[in-house]
Amino acid sequence: MIFAANFKTNHTRKSTELYIRELNEKLGTKNPEDKIYIFPPSTALNAYEGDFTVGVQNAYATQNGAYTGEIGLEQLDEFGIKTILIGHSERREHMGESQEKVATKFTFFREQGFEIIYCIGEPLYIREKGFEAVMQYLLAQFDGIDIMYENIIIAYEPIWAIGTGRSATVEEISTTHRALKKAINDKPLLYGGSAKPANIKEITSIAGVDGVLVGSASLDAESFSEMILS
């Protein structure tokens, strides 16, 4: 299974260091086949050591240059970062990242050989229209995206389940993942949206779920390691 922690705009360099120390202590007994990713805020990127991969939550599609407020390859290289989240619904919504911009970023980082966790997800009004509308919406988020890329992991995160405490149901995850798996030629597919210690077993037992992308419940090393070890 894949367990990915997306800190979003939480944690500092100092608290991330403490977090990683605690995680390393707790994960001594983890299943060697499980793969862990941590996405701290950019200010907390560092060359951390442990049985996990550190990635960046966002970066600009450039080596360097005049892009005020952004970071590019030069800044990622300093810490050996080769993994990135692209297409998260919060960036699409709050930072106005269009599908075209998301696709441009994807292509750039694909060409750089990055491992890309590519996020898709539908808002509540689409879910309420029914499954066909959901799939149409999700598949449109593959526009301009090379889903055959060898280093892609896809994360399905229904927007209405993010940060709400209310995960999608087993039935909703199961039917959506089954349909998505066909569309993405069986690439690794994560679920995200209120995954936590209390529901992790249920979620990871669903066919077509290869892991989870976790926000809130990943912020505490104890809770995240409980999910990994359960």
Q: Which residues are catalytic?
A: 88, 157
Residues 57, 85: Cα–Cα separation, whole Å:
5
Least distance from ligand 13P to the Cβ atom of residue 223, Å: 11
Q: Does position 162 bind ligand 13P by CB under 6 A?
A: yes
Of positions 83, 176, 194, 225, contacts ligand 13P by CB under 6 A? 194
Q: Does position 216 bind ligand 13P by CB under 6 A?
A: yes
User: Which of these segments, 40-48, 98-106, 144-152, 215-223, binds ligand 13P (CB under 6 A)?
Assistant: 215-223
Of positions 213, 221, 227, 228, contacts ligand 13P by CB under 6 A? 213
Q: Does position 16 bind ligand 13P by CB under 6 A?
A: no
Q: Contact letters (x/-) for ligand 13P, 99-138, by CB under 6 A?
A: ----------------------------------------
Given a contact cutoff of 8 angstroms between Cβ atoms, the answer to whether 155 and 120 are in contact is yes
Query: Nearer Cβ to ligand 13P, position 162 or 203?
Result: 162
Looking at residue 214, its amino acid is: V
Query: Nearer Cβ to ligand 13P, position 114 or 160?
Result: 160
Q: Does position 157 bind ligand 13P by CB under 6 A?
A: yes
| Contact set with ligand 13P (CB under 6 A) | 6, 88, 157, 162-163, 192-195, 213-217
